[in-house]
Amino acid sequence: MKKILYPLFTFFIIHTAQTQNATAIKNKQLKDQLLIIPHFGFTEYAKKNSATPFNENVFYAKAASRAGGDFVGNTTYDLPTNNTSPNRLLVYEDGTVSAAWTGSTSTSTERPDRGTFFNHSNGSTWGEIPVERIEEYRTGFPAIIYIDGHEMFFAHDGLNNIAIFENDAPGSETWTENSNSLLLKGTWPRAACAPGSNYIHLLIANDDAGNDNGYMLYYRSSDAGATWDIQGLRLPGVDTASGYNIMGAECYTIKAIGSEVYIAAGSKINDLAVWRSSSNGDIGSWTRTRLIEFPISNFDGNEISDITGDAIADTIGTHDGSIALAIDNAGKMHVWTGVTNVLDITPGDKAWNYFPGVAGMFYWNESFGEDSVQYLTFPIVDWDDDGDPFAGIGFDLANYGVGLTSQPAAALDPSTGSMYIVYTHQVEYTDYVGDPNSTDAQSFRDLFGFYTTDGGNTWSDPINISYTAEDYYENINPTLYWNSMDDKIHTLWMQDQDPGNSLDTEDPDAITLNNNIIYRAYDYSRFEPYDPTANFDYTITFNSVAFHNLSADAGTYLWNFDEGGDLSNLKDPVNIFDETGDYTVCLTATNKYGNDEDCKTITITELVNIDDVTFNNNISVYPTLATDIINIEMQNIEDDVAVEIYSLQGEKVFEQTLNGNTTIDISTFSAGEYILKFSSQHAAAVKRIAIAK
């Protein structure tokens, strides 16, 4: 990836109060308050391509694993969104859930089978993992709604037309193409339908061949999609007179309640604004309120970012285009967005730089008025409580087109009026390298959440709600269902084990199917400090016991083997017991908020003989953290040796008889930890490896 270094100042914060409070501030003060990691910037370009990220060299977005939630599906196309959280989750009062996402199973760069993948839960079990798209042609970036007793989704095809499909009931896998499909021109749809309404409100990005401005356009159907009586409406203020020369991909979000329609939109080089209509989006009914004014009117990357008039490029503090919108019980709008800096030192290239190391979040509600936002510093968490929340963040910041604490999504609890916000945040000291100062170190993101019970006057402390980054899982782009159901915050996101994505043209990740879609309905209690759950299993080979850690929500571990002081802080240790008998082995699992203990009785009936010790020492397996192959070297062993490989769930995934050194292909193995059992005519040994994808 392209890394551009600039000497930025670093600011640090001390995290304190449980109820965070701040006042609205005027735009001119924004840059002076931003918290920054002084690493590098990424180049973005004005022209975008709907088949790829906004800039082909930028906009990561990956995921894969199945830790911390239900496994809904997977995809090789690891870009959930270019900016704002998509509406891809529907939750029903009977407990059923539907999810849609951009799917593909192809490992070719083009992903010719890309399209809308869909799955449905009956309230307890998800359907079969989808392996093909709904459409007969290539599409991407679906938005799904419920209307008139069934589900409908919108996506764009390869010619930048809007595909429209609908089923006959929630969860039905019988999909029919709407008669208006491919007749609406544009890309990156966002859709909304108020409960009980037949009005569909649709936002898309303009794709006029004669104008590549990417303006947000509004479409409306008043009859459940049979006809579209408003098409291609440019809302007030989306024009050069108001400072919009171009807009970014997916930098908008929309909600509808009754006849009220709400929109929040703006890319990082535009104003951030909201629009509202009280008459179902009728032409002439829209009002606009500006939240943040971008200081250079009609900026498009063809001029330097000079705001002082001294012909020297200035660094501009701004929002990052990843926007969350919620409507409270009084019908008042609330907006959250990540923050970043923009800098353009080269005129005439239709490009600029943004900085992913800027932390915090902007917040606004309608009581603030125009050009006033609240800058929230508390979303940046000092994970190890050393007074420096940035020290353990890996030097190589994965490029998602957003700031350090961003990708927000919001949900309302209608019974209490509380609002819950989920966002992503890199966790300190989670890089594979083991040294955050290494230029190759990439920290992993977890989902964090906080809430307000008083309409945004005060805030809870942020809590890590996914808690898998310390196990090397990357969690990104959460989607929340717009209101809570059954007192739960319903969340859909992507997860993998490698920050970044395969769409980077300079240094892409491998194209794999290990980008998983994860769903979880979080209890409200998850947004408060919680203890981990300690649990383990084990495999006995004579008096050698391999322990398999099954704990959840933990970051550190301490094992007591009941042998007079033998302890281990490894996640999955192997212990050799000196005598036969019963041992009470206890595991203490600890996270940032508390700890838990699990104890089990281990019975040793047979001791290893001296040949086993020598046998074990004469076998080497490397690398112990592998991706595609492992090497096995044996010294001074004349007998044939049988090797068996087991997952931690006890499934045998490989077996072979060896008569010398060998290499084993593990490229098809799933990510995780494995036990290798070696046995000959006279001895046995156990080794352990981990596989990362």
Confidence band, pLDDT 50/70/90 cuts, at residue 692: confident
Q: Is the pLDDT of residue 532 over 70?
A: yes
Here the CATH number for the domain that contains residue 277 is: 2.130.10.10
Q: What angle do CA 263, 363, 283 make, to 5 degrees?
A: 15
Confidence band, pLDDT 50/70/90 cuts, at residue 25: low
Compute the distance between CA of residue 430 and CA of residue 470 in angstroms, rounded to an integer: 5
Confidence band, pLDDT 50/70/90 cuts, at residue 240: very high
Domain that holds residue 234: 4-527
Confidence band, pLDDT 50/70/90 cuts, at residue 68: confident
Q: E strands along 591-671, which residues?
A: 595-604, 619-622, 625-626, 629-634, 641-647, 652-658, 662-665
Partnered with residue 115 across adjacent β-strands are: 103
pLDDT digits (tens, 9 = 90+) for 461-505: 999 999 999 999 999 999 999 999 999 999 999 999 899 888 876
Joined together, the tokens standing for residue 14 give 């001390």
Joined together, the tokens standing for residue 501 give 């994505």
Q: Is the pLDDT of residue 234 over 90?
A: yes
Q: What mean pLDDT comes out for the span 209-232?
A: 90
Same domain, 72 and 166: yes
Q: What mean pLDDT comes out for the span 404-424?
A: 98
Compute the distance between CA of residue 332 and CA of residue 375 in angstroms, rounded to an integer: 19
Joined together, the tokens standing for residue 639 give 């007998």
Compute the distance between CA of residue 206 and CA of residue 200 in angstroms, rounded to an integer: 18
Here the CATH number for the domain that contains residue 551 is: 2.60.40.10
- Which among 31-45, 536-550, 605-619 has the top mean pLDDT? 536-550
Q: Return mean pLDDT, the chain.
A: 89
Task: Check if the beta carbon of residue 541 is closer than 8 Å to that of residue 683.
Answer: no
Q: What mean pLDDT comes out for the span 173-193?
A: 97
Q: Is the pLDDT of residue 38 over 60?
A: no
Confidence band, pLDDT 50/70/90 cuts, at residue 4: very low
Pairs from 173-181 (Cβ < 8 Å, separation ≥ 24): 173/118, 173/120, 173/127, 175/118, 175/134, 177/135, 178/152, 178/225, 179/226, 180/225, 180/226, 180/227, 180/228
Task: Check if the beta carbon of residue 315 is closer than 8 Å to that of residue 308.
Answer: no
Q: Is the pLDDT of residue 61 over 50?
A: no
Confidence band, pLDDT 50/70/90 cuts, at residue 24: low
Q: Is the pLDDT of residue 610 over 70?
A: no
Here the CATH number for the domain that contains residue 652 is: 2.60.40.3080
Same domain, 519 and 549: no
Confidence band, pLDDT 50/70/90 cuts, at residue 13: very low
* pLDDT score for 327: 98
Q: What mean pLDDT comes out for the span 543-566?
A: 90
Task: Check if the beta carbon of residue 226 is closer than 8 Å to that of residue 176.
Answer: no
Q: How many domains does the chain have?
A: 3
Question: Where among 604, 622, 657 does a domain terminate?
Answer: 604
Confidence band, pLDDT 50/70/90 cuts, at residue 459: very high
Q: Is the pLDDT of residue 609 over 90?
A: no
* 3-class SS string, 51-116: CCCCCCCCCCCCCCCCCCCEEEEEECCCCCCCCCCCCCEEECCCCCEEEEEEECCCCCCCCCCCEE
* pLDDT score for 437: 94
Compute the distance between CA of residue 101 and CA of residue 116 in angstroms, rounded to an integer: 6
Same domain, 244 and 211: yes
Q: Please state which of the ranges 48-52, 198-202, 633-637 shows the lowest mean pLDDT.
A: 48-52
Q: What mean pLDDT comes out for the span 271-287?
A: 99
Q: Please state which of the ranges 161-175, 252-266, 526-540, 614-628 shows the lowest mean pLDDT.
A: 614-628
Same domain, 513 and 386: yes
Q: What mean pLDDT comes out for the span 602-627?
A: 85
* pLDDT score for 211: 59
Same domain, 402 and 422: yes
Compute the distance between CA of residue 55 and CA of residue 48 in angstroms, rounded to an integer: 6
Same domain, 100 and 220: yes
CA atoms lying within 13 Å on the CB side of residue 155: 31
Same domain, 264 and 401: yes
* pLDDT score for 47: 53
Joined together, the tokens standing for residue 382 give 């000092």
Same domain, 469 and 577: no
Task: Give one word for 311, left, alpha or beta, with left for phi > 0 and alpha for psi -120 to 50.
Answer: left
Compute the CA torsion angle 421, 459, 372, 406 (nearest 10 deg): -40
DSSP 149-210: TEEEEEEEETTSEEEEEEESSTT---EEE-TTTTTEE-EEEEEE--TT---EEEEEE--BTT
Q: What percent of the chain has a predicted confidence (pLDDT) above 70?
A: 89
* pLDDT score for 35: 65
Question: Where among 587, 604, 621 does a domain terminate?
Answer: 604
Task: Give one word for 134, left, alpha or beta, with left for phi > 0 and alpha for psi -120 to 50.
Answer: alpha
Question: Where among 604, 628, 644 does a domain terminate?
Answer: 604
Compute the distance between CA of residue 69 and CA of residue 518 in angstroms, rounded to an integer: 6
Q: What mean pLDDT comes out for the span 584-591?
A: 97
Same domain, 508 and 617: no
CA atoms lying within 13 Å on the CB side of residue 282: 5
Same domain, 408 and 541: no
Q: Is the pLDDT of residue 611 over 80?
A: no
In 3-state terms, the chain is what percent helix, strand and coil (to 5)? 5, 45, 55
Sheet harboring 463-464: ordered strands across? Answer: 405-412, 419-426, 445-452, 463-464
Calculate the alpha carbon distances from 187 to 184, 240, 439 in Å: 9, 21, 36
Q: Is the pLDDT of residue 399 over 90?
A: no
Partnered with residue 140 across adjacent β-strands are: 156
Q: Is the pLDDT of residue 84 over 80?
A: yes
Same domain, 597 and 614: no
Q: What mean pLDDT comes out for the span 371-398?
A: 94
| Nearest in space to 183 (alpha carbons), one of 210, 209, 211, 154 | 154
Other C-beta atoms closer than 10 Å to the C-beta of 88 total 24
Q: What mean pLDDT comes out for the span 499-521?
A: 86
DSSP 593-614: S-EEEEEEEEEE-----HHHHH
Q: Is the pLDDT of residue 26 over 80?
A: no
- Which among 270-274, 658-662, 689-693 has the top mean pLDDT? 270-274
**In this structure, what DSSP letter does residue 302 have?**
S
* pLDDT score for 615: 87
| Nearest in space to 517 (alpha carbons), one of 100, 91, 5 | 100
Q: Is the pLDDT of residue 411 over 50?
A: yes
Q: What mean pLDDT comes out for the span 302-313?
A: 96
Same domain, 460 and 390: yes
Q: Is the pLDDT of residue 12 over 50?
A: no
* pLDDT score for 40: 60
Compute the distance between CA of residue 665 and CA of residue 104 in angstroms, rounded to an integer: 25
Chain centroid, CA 21 distance in Å: 27
Confidence band, pLDDT 50/70/90 cuts, at residue 67: low
* pLDDT score for 210: 56
Compute the distance between CA of residue 168 and CA of residue 183 in angstroms, rounded to an integer: 22
pLDDT digits (tens, 9 = 90+) for 343-352: 999 999 999 9
Higher pLDDT pick, 213 / 308: 308
